[in-house]
Amino acid sequence: MDCVGSVVDVINTYLFAPLVEQVSYLRSSGANVNDLQTAVRRLMARRNDEQSNLKAAENAGQVKTDIANNWFEEIEAIKTEFDALENKYSQGTYMNCWLLYNLSKRSVELKQMASDLLNEQFDLVRRPFPKSVIEIECESIENQQSTQHMLQQMLDCIDDPEIGIIGLYGMGGVGKTTLAGKVNNHFKKNFCFETVIMVTVSAIPNIPSIRTSIGKRFGLDLSNDNEDDARELLLDALRKNKFLLILDDLWSKLELKDVGIPHPRNHKGSKILVTSRIQDVCTDMDARKTIKLRPLSIDESWNLFVEKSGQHVTADHIKRSAEKIVGKCKGLPLAIVTVARAMANRHGIGEWENAAREMEQSATELRGMKEEVLVPLKFSFDRLENDMLRSLFLYCGCFPEDYNIEKEGMLNFCVGEGLVNKIGSLTTARNKGEALIGSLKTACMLEDGEDEDSVKMHDMMRELALWITSPESDCSSKFLIKAGQSFKDAPEANQWLNATRISLMDTKIKELPELRERCPKLTTLLLRHSKMIHTIPPTNFFQYMDHLSVLDLFDTQTLECLPDSLSCLVNLRVLSLRRCKRFRSLPALEMLQQLQVLDLYGCLSLDQQILGSKCMGTISNLRYLDVSLTKVSFSRGVISHLLKMEDLRLYNAHNIRWRVSSENEKWDDQGNINNIDVGELSHLTNLTSLDICFKDIKISNWFKPLAKKIRVLILQRCRDIKQEAIRALNESQNLQFLSIQECSGLTYAPTCLKGRLEIWNCTNLEKMLDGAEEKTNQDSFQRLESLDLKGLLILERICVGLAPLKCFGNLNKISIFKCKKLKMVFTKGMPRFFNNLKSIAVESCDRMEVIMETEEEDGKLEGSNNDRVISAFPKLEKLTLLHLPLLVEAHNNHIWHCPILKEMNVDNCPRLEKDPLRIQTVHGLQVINGTEGMPKSRMKRKFKRFKSNEGEGSTH
């Protein structure tokens, strides 16, 4: 029985049960299809919900996961098959059993698949994987060659393995962000970095925001992490990548470690580029290379303007005005684009002429200039470190457009602002002024001037200063500025009343208004270079300016006198009448007891005694006095009462004579009141700088204490000279000009001075430098820039023996005249290379044979004739050789290589007629003057013949 039961179970399991299941597909076909319909309907509902969720997530920046993508594809496959199945089922009256069986069975299978998909759980979306570079939209630089050059320079720095951090700086609106964007986009096609990220930092860095922005590029959400965790996560992500990080618009140092950024020196191959308006910020960020982005050239500015405004601006009737407008922008792209957009739809000549006038008078009148240019630029002003910097910036706006502002002229500002009283001395105030100027330059709010002693202000920065100090501004300082040749009429009296500073510099104004009300805030009045002002209103003009601290009349050339109301300026600290050539009468100064700077330099017509006994209160405060090139005089005892004097300039003060009390000369109170005892100078214990001329007096021990304070010194006909006294000049760090004339007692020349040295007609000077004597003094003639020797009848050598290594290293000009015994200029013991020498002039030296004496190792062999070529004068531009009867050549059997020589004057050098000077140039001489008796054309042919046979380059 057990055996029979087992057989029955096997038959039931493997035969009847499957048979029943298969039969049920036929019996339940309708129910199966209906169940499938229900399952598909539910599945499609979830699909629709998930699609809505997906759209929202994608709008938020997330992307669909691969598993979600497969899920949607499987649903579409089921839906497609269900639609076909349902269509077949609806035609059931024509189906045979076998077809109905298959349809029912597939319905069951599809239902199970639909149920599985309906219940499946998965991540619909994920954060996107970071792109290597996200392209940034920025302005084209296609027609800006200088900007393209800067871009390449930056890319070269990024490519340099020795440079980890690069700094790009420049004034606001000059295009730093555009250039940084170009750097970013460059690496879209150049796969040098795994990740390139550009982040704007701004004035007040939000470190969590910066960190989050960088983190997003790596798929990190750091917004909810604590500070330490977020920093470590970002640090770890960056360390795993070779990255370029661009930090745009920094205003102060950003600590990389606080953000979670590894320093490139610890992460080789990665780079950081920072941009800022302030050079110091780049340096503070440890930038190994800083690059200044400068404004566009004239042509580039014009091309940008045409691009943004339209071709109509090139029409003849518009172009002239358009060029004036563009010129006013001074290459600042932000200003150019703003003006171009404002004028894009303007076609009438009147509209353009009016716009040019508005730009000339006040750029704020033009649409968009205030909001789009000046407001962004003002951010630089607001971010300056202190009020003194802001005040100096606004002061610079008082100068005319494109004016070269001398740094020394900033002394007026420093004194006027009371810096001397605050920090103790004129020297310290001057140094402070230098530091302030440096800070404004590194902030790109001032620019380099035409030389190292001056600065300039970009036109848009000047417009900013004018706008800040205009009546419409909320700034407390209100300036009245009418500076420049376009102004012919002075502002009316009522405009003066609320001004704190008034500038009428470089105008064509002839008359100033009569004032009848106080100007209670006025501290500065600048009238310099207004050469047509010949008089100041005589009645009470200065009476209404009792707070005036600076009165600048520099170069008002027709001005002859000042009114007596000058005595009302009881707070005046600076009075400048510099280069007022016709000025002849200075009012009494006894009431000006705050006066610290009195500048009368170049008042050639001023012939009066000043600072008399009634001015003792005034002179006790004076710290700077310049009466050079005047005819002023002092009564005895005045000099000794200048107790605070720091900078005294008496250079070529024609009516001042000096005497030494030990000479036992008698005073003549009637005729020689201008003779001042040199002992009075010893009372000036605060003196640091002295310009002075001594004539016909003994130079002895009294001179030693003064020597180290002297800046400019002229000695004339001082026949009795103690050499120890002259040697004391070597202790001066301030000596810039020394002229010794007709001093027969001179046997030693000071060697430690900067600037210019003249020695004329000193008949007992045999040498300028003795190497044996100066071997312990490595500064000998190291800072000298110009050497002028004339009438030194027994001078045989400039240098005897071996000169110090850097001797004459800064010399740029040497002139030798009537030194009868001198045979050569540069002897063996002197340096063989003069890298800064631009001009050599030798004239009327009867025994001169060669310019440079030969040493065996001089030069290198060149050419088929094995000539020795020496490159001693790489910057020589002018060579003058006149009246030298024994001169054979420049350098014995050597060729001078002078690559930039432009002018050569050779006259009455008869021994040069047979052979020309052996000189190589690169660009050719522009001027050649032949020797006496030899036409210029012949001299030039000889020079050319040598050039073509023995040298390189060409002449023309």
Enclosing H/E stretch for 741: strand 737-741
Among 878, 780, 887, CA closest to 830: 780
CA distances from 137 to 178, 183, 185, 189, 248 (A): 9, 12, 9, 15, 15
The pairing of strands 289-292 and 550-552 is: unpaired
Say how far apart CA 495 and CA 202 lie, in whole Å.
Answer: 39
- Which DSSP category does 634 fall into? -
Among 590, 534, 581, CA closest to 562: 534
Q: Which 3 state secondary structure label does DSSP give 24? A: helix
764 contacts: CB under 8 Å, gap ≥ 6? 744, 745, 746, 747, 794
Say how far apart CA 744 and CA 478 lie, in whole Å.
Answer: 60
- CA 684, chain centre distance (Å): 39
pLDDT given at position 955: 33
Could you list the beta-strand ranges (E) of 772-838.
784-790, 797-800, 813-817, 824-826
Q: Which 3 state secondary structure label does DSSP give 872? A: coil
Amino acid at 394: L
Enclosing H/E stretch for 435: helix 426-442
Enclosing H/E stretch for 906: strand 903-907
Specify whether the CB–CB gap between 592 and 622 falls below 8 A.
Answer: no
Long-range contacts of 476-484 (CB under 8 A, 24+ apart): 477/391, 477/394, 477/501, 478/521, 479/394, 479/397, 479/398, 479/503, 481/397, 481/398, 482/507, 482/509, 483/398, 483/399, 483/400, 483/401, 483/403, 483/507, 483/526, 484/400, 484/401
Say how far apart CA 637 and CA 680 lie, in whole Å.
Answer: 7
Say how far apart CA 191 and CA 183 lie, in whole Å.
Answer: 13
Measured in residues, the chain has a length of 956
Could you list the beta-strand ranges (E) of 160-277.
165-169, 195-202, 243-250, 271-276
pLDDT given at position 916: 65
Angle at 733 between CA 732 and CA 737, to 5 degrees: 75
Among 532, 348, 374, CA closest to 460: 374
User: Dihedral, CA atoms, 505, 508, 513, 517, nearest 10 degrees?
Assistant: -20
CA distances from 418 to 388, 499, 530, 733 (A): 11, 19, 26, 27
Say how far apart CA 461 and CA 455 lie, in whole Å.
Answer: 13
CA distances from 637 to 570, 640, 643, 656, 902 (A): 24, 5, 12, 13, 54
Neighbour tally for 191: CB within 10 Å: 10
501 contacts: CB under 8 Å, gap ≥ 6? 394, 395, 398, 469, 477, 479, 480, 481, 522, 523, 524, 525, 526
Q: Which two tokens mark 24? A: 């049920």
User: Is the whole-model pTM more than 0.85?
Assistant: no
Q: Which two tokens mark 80? A: 């497609």
**Average pLDDT per run of 10 along the chain, which is 956 residues long?**
56 52 60 84 90 87 86 90 80 64 79 87 78 87 91 94 95 93 91 91 87 87 84 91 94 93 88 95 95 94 92 90 91 91 87 87 81 89 92 94 87 85 86 91 91 90 93 85 89 94 95 92 95 88 94 94 94 96 92 94 94 78 95 91 95 91 50 75 94 94 93 93 91 92 92 93 92 69 94 93 85 96 88 87 95 67 59 90 90 80 89 72 60 50 42 36
* Beta-ladder partners of 860: 869
Specify whether the CB–CB gap between 646 and 622 falls below 8 A.
Answer: no
Specify whether the CB–CB gap between 538 and 561 falls below 8 A.
Answer: no
Specify whether the CB–CB gap between 404 and 394 falls below 8 A.
Answer: no
